[in-house]
């Protein structure tokens, strides 16, 4: 086979003949790539794994250069008697034909080097500005006649100059910032594979050789992780690149940069945070960005904790905003909003590509709708965001919990528990974000114990703020009451621990108590409410029959007089309810009323006398005025009217009330204990989640009070 050197044999080399024309040895790639991390022999390559080992100026590169046009080119066989001549610069930069030779490539690189050198030295910047213009021109721009402007560089010209910059990347210091920014802002994602690989190699070499540009490179790449800017991937003369292809190319580039500069993750983490879509951005932007930064973890595992914490923070913020907005709606309106959003709608928000005309029509439509319609549209958009984002996290966490070893499961749960304690627990009214823990901690008895133990430690720790201890009690009670995979033994153990703690608090507080006071005795009331809530849902597991091994169905068949409870269950609640602390006055009316009906029917405790007395009790005389200004309690207390008295009561916040997001709720199938009506007490359906079953609704408290009046 004839070598390149022999094939181009002609006149003797002259003073202007490039040295590359005389090379006979195989060129060495500028960047060495790892076969294990970049490509795997015999395997089907993903977009991220494409080999980037192009060598500018080598025989391999020149062969690739002849394929610069998206149209298939005929391979050129050089004749031994080919005539060698130097092509003028103006002709050469506009040439995109098959006759491009190594000489023109070498000359472009040499002229790029000289242009940079003259610009840096403060001399002539004309050639430097001309190169910058080549990358600054948008190939998608149309002229007055609807065609591309005549000064748009050809693919060949663009590629040859990029190769020239790659060869001289060490010279691109801060004084060349304008040129570098023009290259970074140029359209590269819609071009052919050879240009994509060359561009990615340029990014890696630039970031490695000139550290000051690392941040600019990372910002440019992360800018393509959300909703893609209009026109991205649409270059005239090339097939339109689908968003999935564009995202794959972005990750290929970012992976390459991270492999060359492992310390770059320290710069990437704050950029990922700052580039996260704004609250006002679309659901499509938020979902796409969430999916893409989760994908970053696969090649930058050191960022796992930062990325997952960032997503969790955004989730909780959106979640709380939805709850605030929904509270302003009527019940029927809120139900209609949820019913209007289907799983297909969430998927549509992720995948749809909107045309410019559709966007403009949407803007005009938004300007003409009423304020109420806009508000409903915003709520729906936020629900779409939350549903798609949390579904992404469910998918990310699922493999270690379903297929991983015990260590992998515990490591994944450690991450969830960390985010729970630092992000979710301190946030009032988080409604859906915590269900990641609810679902995955039920995948094994050991993980159930881990989550329950975490909550118990927070409840018992006096060094923790009262607000966190109260929230932890609500989370533990809701988890034990609602978790379908939580055994009766765990229910009894948790109930016993909380009962012991309640009795200790009662003994501590009672000597100084003059009457019910949530601000002074908050931990006591939150623990009491937790016990009442667990009793309402899991009373069957607390009976002596359950201890003896009877099933819930067998217990339902018993007559009320045949149902008995162990002394520790009854005695602790009896002493607490009849104490001066009077928990039935402070605990949520919805939970108290349901407990009163059930305990009477089961011959457990009769409390209706206390409830009647509490209606006439004025709590204002027991308030501690020095604590009225404490801002912590403004988040956990709800003011309700009781005649002329304004009393403080615990909010009926139980964080694992029924999950409502349309798409991601598929993960929670089979995780719930649904309300089971008590035979002989009422005719409620087993799946009827009203009253105490959804005690987090404020309207429920008012309805329950009305029923008993």
Contacts of 567 (CB under 8 A, 6+ apart): none
Contacts for 90 with CB less than 8 Å, ≥ 6 apart: none
Instruction: Report residues of the chain scoring pLDDT below 50.
Output: 1-46, 54-74, 76, 78, 82-103, 143-146, 352-365, 368, 620-647, 684-709
Let me know the angle formed at the C-alpha of 465 by 327 and 509, rounded to the nearest 5 degrees: 100
Cα–Cα distance between 426 and 386 in angstroms, integer? 19
Residue 639 pairs in a beta bridge with 648
Main-chain phi, psi angles of 648, to 5 degrees: -100, 130
Q: pLDDT, tens digit, for every residue of 190-215?
A: 999 999 999 999 999 999 999 999 99
pLDDT at 707: 38
Distances from the Cα of 44 to the Cα of 40, 48, 49, 53, 343, angstroms: 8, 11, 9, 18, 32
pLDDT of 619 reads 60
pLDDT the model gives residue 16: 42
Instruction: Please state, in angstroms and rounded to a whole number, the distance separating the CA atoms of residues 383 and 588.
Output: 28
**φ and ψ of 79, to 5 deg:** -90, 145
Give the phi and the psi of residue 557 in degrees, each rounded to 5.
-80, -10
320, two tokens: 């709380």
| Per-residue confidence (pLDDT) for residue 681, from 0 to 100 | 73
Contacts of 555 by beta carbon, 8 Å cutoff, 6+ apart:
540, 543, 545, 546, 563
Burial of 11 (0-12, 13-18, 19+ CB in 10 A): exposed
Counting beta carbons within 10 angstroms of the beta carbon of residue 42, is it exposed (0 to 12), middle (13 to 18) or buried (19 or more)? exposed
> In the block, which residue shows the tokens 């304004």?
646
Quick check: 41 and 28 in contact, CB under 8 A?
Answer: no
Report residue 47 as tokens: 């977009």
559 CB-contact burial (10 Å; exposed 0-12 / middle 13-18 / buried 19+): exposed
Q: Using an 8 Å Cβ cutoff, are 239 and 70 in contact?
A: yes
Q: Which pLDDT belongs to residue 335?
A: 61
Beta-carbon contacts of residue 39 (< 8 Å; ≥ 6 apart): 33, 45, 49, 50, 51
Instruction: Read off the pTM.
Output: 0.77
pLDDT of residue 73: 45
> Taking the CB of residue 359, how many other CB atoms lie within 10 A of it?
10
SS3 187: coil
Alpha-carbon gap, residue 355 to 597, rounded angstroms: 59
Is residue 49 within 8 Å of 38, Cβ to Cβ?
yes
Give me the DSSP letters along 398-451: HHHHHHS-HHHHHHHHHHHHHHIIIIITTSTT--STTHHHHHHGGGSHHHHHHH
pLDDT for residue 617: 77
**How high is the pLDDT of residue 305?**
95
Q: Are 140 and 235 in contact (CB under 8 A)?
A: yes
Q: Quote the CA–CA distance of 41 and 49 in Å, as a whole number.
A: 11
293, 272 Cβ separation under 8 angstroms: yes
Find all residues with CB under 8 Å of 700, minimum gap 6, and list them. 590, 652, 690, 691, 692, 694
Q: What confidence score (pLDDT) does residue 323 get?
A: 87
Other CB atoms within a 10 A radius of the CB of residue 107 amount to 19
Cα–Cα dist 533/675, whole Å: 12
- 521: closest CA among 577, 476, 582, 573? 582
C-alpha–C-alpha distance, residues 564 and 567, integer Å: 9
Both tokens of residue 515?
A: 């009457």
Give the helix/strand (H/E) hosting 273. Answer: helix 265-274
Nearest to 525 by CA among 542, 537, 509: 509
CA separation for the pair 131, 187 (Å, rounded) = 15
pLDDT at 345: 58
Give the three-class secondary structure for 645: strand
Tokens linked to 539: 């009373």
Contact 622, 515 (CB under 8 A): yes
**Locus of tokens 């002074």:** 520
Please, are residues 502 and 576 in contact by the beta-carbon 8 Å criterion?
yes
3-state secondary structure at position 639? strand
Which uninterrupted H or E stretch holds 640? strand 637-642
Q: Quick one: DSSP state of residue 137? A: S
Q: Which residues contact 23 (CB under 8 A, 6 or more apart)?
A: 5
**What pLDDT is stored for residue 149 in this prediction?**
57
**What is the number of residues in the chain?**
709
């Amino acid at each position: 086979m004839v070598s390149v050197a022999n094939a181009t044999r002609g006149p003797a080399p002259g003073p202007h003949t490039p040295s590359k024309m005389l090379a006979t040895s195989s060129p060495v790639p500028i960047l060495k790539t790892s076969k294990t991390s970049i490509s795997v022999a015999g395997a089907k390559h993903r977009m991220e794994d494409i080999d980037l080992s192009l060598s500018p100026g080598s025989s391999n590169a020149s062969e690739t250069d002849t394929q610069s046009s998206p149209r298939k080119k005929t391979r050129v066989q050089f004749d031994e008697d080919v005539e060698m001549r130097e092509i003028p610069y103006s002709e050469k930069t506009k040439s995109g034909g098959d006759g491009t030779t190594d000489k023109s490539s070498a000359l472009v690189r040499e002229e790029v080097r000289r242009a940079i050198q003259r610009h840096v030295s403060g001399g002539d910047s004309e050639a430097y500005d001309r190169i910058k213009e080549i990358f600054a021109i948008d190939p998608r721009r149309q002229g007055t006649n609807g065609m591309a402007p005549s000064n748009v560089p050809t693919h060949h010209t663009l590629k040859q100059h990029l190769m020239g910059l790659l060869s001289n990347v060490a010279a691109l210091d801060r004084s060349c910032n304008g040129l570098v920014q023009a290259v970074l802002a140029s359209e590269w994602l819609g071009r052919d594979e050879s240009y994509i690989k060359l561009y990615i190699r340029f990014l890696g070499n630039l970031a490695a050789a000139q550290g000051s540009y690392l941040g600019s490179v990372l910002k440019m790449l992360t800018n393509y992780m959300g909703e893609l800017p209009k026109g991205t991937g649409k270059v005239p003369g090339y097939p339109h690149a689908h968003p999935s292809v564009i995202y794959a190319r972005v990750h290929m580039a970012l992976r390459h940069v991270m492999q060359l500069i492992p310390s770059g993750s320290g710069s990437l983490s704050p950029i990922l945070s700052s580039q996260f879509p704004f609250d006002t951005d679309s659901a499509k932007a938020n979902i796409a960005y969430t999916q893409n930064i989760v994908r970053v973890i696969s090649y930058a595992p050191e960022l796992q904790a930062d990325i997952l914490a960032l997503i969790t923070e955004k989730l909780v913020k959106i979640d709380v905003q939805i709850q605030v907005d929904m509270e302003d709606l009527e019940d029927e309106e809120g139900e209609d909003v949820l019913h209007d959003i289907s799983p297909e709608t969430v998927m549509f928000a992720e995948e749809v590509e909107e045309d410019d005309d559709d966007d403009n029509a949407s803007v005009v439509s938004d300007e003409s709708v009423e304020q109420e319609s806009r508000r409903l549209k915003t709520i729906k958009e936020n629900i779409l965001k939350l549903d798609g984002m949390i579904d992404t996290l469910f998918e990310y966490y699922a493999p270690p919990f379903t297929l991983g070893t015990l260590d992998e499961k515990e490591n994944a749960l450690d991450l969830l528990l960390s985010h729970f304690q630092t992000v979710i627990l301190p946030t009032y009214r988080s409604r859906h974000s915590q269900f990641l823990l609810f679902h995955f901690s039920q995948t094994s008895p050991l993980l159930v114990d881990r989550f329950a133990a975490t909550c118990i430690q927070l409840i018992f720790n006096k060094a923790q703020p009262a607000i966190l201890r109260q929230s932890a009690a609500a989370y533990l009670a809701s988890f034990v009451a609602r978790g379908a995979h939580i055994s009766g033994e765990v229910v009894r153990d948790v109930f016993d621990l909380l009962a012991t703690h309640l009795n200790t608090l009662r003994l501590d507080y009672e000597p100084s108590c003059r009457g019910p006071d949530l601000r002074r005795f908050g931990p006591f009331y939150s623990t009491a409410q937790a016990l009442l809530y667990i009793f309402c849902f899991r009373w069957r597991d607390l009976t002596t029959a359950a201890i003896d091994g009877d099933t819930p169905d067998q217990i339902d068949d018993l007559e009320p007089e045949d149902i008995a409870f162990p002394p520790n269950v009854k005695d602790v609640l009896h002493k607490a309810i009849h104490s001066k602390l009077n928990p039935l006055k402070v605990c949520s009316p919805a939970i108290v009323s349901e407990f009163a009906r059930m305990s009477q029917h089961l011959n457990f405790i009769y409390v209706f006398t206390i409830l009647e007395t509490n209606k006439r009790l004025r709590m204002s005389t027991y308030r501690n005025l020095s604590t009225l200004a404490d801002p912590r309690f403004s988040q956990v207390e709800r003011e309700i009217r009781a005649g002329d008295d304004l009393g403080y009561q615990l909010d009926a916040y139980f964080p694992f009330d029924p999950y409502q997001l349309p798409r991601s709720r598929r993960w929670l199938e089979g995780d719930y204990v649904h309300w089971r009506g008590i035979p002989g007490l009422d005719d409620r359906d087993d799946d009827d989640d009203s009253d105490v079953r959804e005690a987090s609704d404020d309207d429920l408290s008012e309805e329950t009070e009305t029923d008993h009046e």
